[in-house]
Structures are given as C-alpha cells and as structure tokens.
Amino acid sequence: MSKKAIVYINQFFGQLGGEDTADVAPSITEGQIGPAMAYNAQLNADVTHTIICGDNFMGSHTEEAVQIILDMLKDKEFDIFIAGPAFNAGRYGVACGTICKAVKEKYGVPVITSMNQENPGMEMFRKDVIIMKGGNIASKMRKDLAAVVKVANKMLAGEEIGAAAEEGYFPTGHRHQTFINERAVDRFMKMLHARIRGEDYVSEMIVPKLDRVPIAPAVKDLKHARIAMLNTGGIIPVDNPDRIQSASATRWGRYDISEMDALKGGEFKTIHAGFDPAAANENPNRIMPIDAMKVLLKEGVYGSLHPYFYTTVGTGTTEKEAARMAREIIPLLQEDQVDACILIST
C-alpha cells in the first residue's frame, strides 16, 4: 500500500487570491493544488488532499480554524502532514507551525514545514515541529520544497532524522547521545587550533547570545520632558487600518491623539488574542491610558505629550520582529525630540 500525504497551504498558494481572501475559513480538496502538485511529484507518497486556509482567519480565529482542520482529518488516512513553504510571510509561517503542531499532537503522524529564519513562526514552533531552513521569498520555492521532500521521505521510510546541521532544519533544542571514536582532548585541540588559525569550527556547547538592553537613565527634568505612549496591548482604531495581527505581530500602528482627551470605546478596540477583550473594548484607556496622561499634562506633572501613540501585539511576537518594529518607530520619536517613553503591556 502506498504512503499518503496531506498538504496545508494559505489562500495565496491555494489560488484563491491575496489579501482580499485572507479571511477565508479552512477548506479541504481532494487532490493537489499549488505546491501540493510539486510535493506529489517528488514525495514517496501520494498527496491525497490539499487544505487551504486564509492567513487572517487562522490568525484571528486560531482555535476555530485548528478544530475545523482536525475535524476534516478525522476520516482521512495519511502518513505525513506537510505545510508551506512559508518563506518570510509571518502570518503564513505562524499558521504552518500552529497546524503542524496540532496535527502532530492529535494524530501522531510526522509533520514538517519550511520557513525563513526571520519568520516569527520559526522561533515559536521550532521546538515542536521540524522546520526546514527556507528562503525569504516565493522564488525560492523549488529549493525549499526539495529540502522538505528530502527529510519528509526519510520520515515516510521510518529512517532516523539526523542533526539539524546535517539535515538543514532549525535546531529544536533536543540533545541526543552520540558515540564517536575520538577522545575529548583531541576534539578540544582541533577546535583550539582552528580558532587560533581563524578557521571555521563548531563548538560542542553552543552558548545562546542574549540581547542585553541597558537600563535608561532617569528623566532629569520631568516638568519639561516630552513623553510618548506605546503599548503591546493591541489598541487600534476599530477598522484596524494597519492590519495588525492579533498574535505573532509583524506590524505596528501610529495613531493621532493630539485632539483627544481620552480614547473612546466604539472608536478604539483591542485585537490582542491573549486576553478577554471586553474590558479594553469598553474603555480602551485601560490599556492605553490617554485619559490619565492628559489629566497629568494639565496638572503640569510633565512637559508635553507626543501627539501620537504607537501600538502592536506582544503575544507570540518574536524578539527579531519586536526589534525591527522598534527600529522603525525610534526615528519618529527622535524627530519630535521625545525625552521618554511609557510602554504599557498587558
């Protein structure tokens, strides 16, 4: 009996459209669509079905989307589940990681996906799912897909998957015992000589690099300081003009408060997926306290308020994406000669 595979792709690669169809709910089609056709040609398995889901739907209705897809798979026979490749598309990468992890936990079959190192989904799911190192744009499809197939075929054959560096996937953080015919002192001397000569070598103990941010000095003269307000609670105008994601954000927004004494419910809301939004939607100042800041300004507690507030969503957002967004926001604050920022989280 031949092996069977099921492939997950988003609305774009599912040939439904672009952003205009990003809110479509999951659907399953017998046969192959888009990248599933290439998988079917190269895998040692038949791709029997293709699942398509809009990136926005998966991001905004994650639990519902996952349950719909798991229910779709109940009566299907499959030996492997493949998602993507997702390249550097943040929402798509998170969706691929989310559904791969759920399918693995529910059905116990091998799962695999591919994405770029800058994709927020990589850091979120690399410990749970085999994620192949992929390119940053769709033109890398052929190469990325071939890398997935190479490891997927090993999974289908029941072969042991090698180390991350050998197979080309992101390290999962799991360690395996390996026996080699070489003494530790000899391995150490080889690495030492390589380092002295400026040659490449790989340490057997990789020490992660931590991003240490020094504590900023206190504001010397609060009475004359210009203050800016930022938040990771997802407070946005109700129409979400910047299409900020409810989790694993890759976007941020900047909104004018120069003529407001407070944020009004019905005009502003939260899109944060990590807490009950009812209280914040009723009074957005509970997350973004513009009302209190305007009162303190009138009382002369501080000098002036930057005319905009900045927002994104913190839940699931990677350090890389957060740092990038900060680099984009900082020049706007410097241009207005902001002295200090208040960052409100949840």
- In three-state secondary structure terms, 215 is coil
Same domain membership, residue 153 and residue 226: no
For residue 81, pLDDT over 90 is answered with yes
Same domain membership, residue 60 and residue 140: yes
Answer with the one of 133, 167, 201 that is the final residue of a domain.
167
Same domain membership, residue 131 and residue 26: yes
**How many domains does the chain fold into?**
2
pLDDT for position 289: 96
In a domain, 157, yes or no: yes
For residue 4, pLDDT over 70 is answered with yes
pLDDT for position 109: 95
Same domain membership, residue 148 and residue 30: yes
pLDDT for position 327: 94
In a domain, 93, yes or no: yes
pLDDT for position 1: 55
Confidence of residue 142 (pLDDT cuts 50, 70, 90): very high
pLDDT for position 180: 79
In a domain, 292, yes or no: yes
**DSSP helix, strand, coil percent of the chain (3-state; round to 5):** 35, 20, 45
Average pLDDT of 145-170? 92
In a domain, 161, yes or no: yes
Average pLDDT of 237-245? 93
d(CA 287, CA 271): 12
Same domain membership, residue 331 and residue 234: yes
Q: Which residues contact 242 (CB under 8 A, 6 or more apart)?
A: 236, 251, 252, 253
Whether the full predicted model's pTM is greater than 0.75, yes or no, is: no
d(CA 309, CA 320): 22
Beta-bridged to residue 113, according to DSSP, are 83, 131
pLDDT for position 163: 85
Same domain membership, residue 244 and residue 318: yes
Same domain membership, residue 136 and residue 244: no
Same domain membership, residue 131 and residue 243: no
In a domain, 202, yes or no: no
Q: Which residue has the tokens 């913190």?
A: 314
In a domain, 40, yes or no: yes
d(CA 24, CA 51): 12
Same domain membership, residue 227 and residue 163: no
CB 100 within 8 A of CB 70: no
Same domain membership, residue 231 and residue 319: yes
Average pLDDT of 293-319? 93
In a domain, 173, yes or no: no
More confident residue, 208 or 291: 291
Answer with the one of 136, 167, 198 that is the final residue of a domain.
167
- Can you give the CATH number for the domain in which 97 is found? 3.40.50.2300
Domain that holds residue 25: 4-167
Same domain membership, residue 266 and residue 123: no
In a domain, 179, yes or no: no
Edge-first strand order for the sheet with 226-231 is: 253-256, 304-311, 226-231, 340-344
pLDDT for position 146: 95
Edge-first strand order for the sheet with 80-83 is: 27-30, 46-53, 4-10, 80-83, 111-115, 130-133
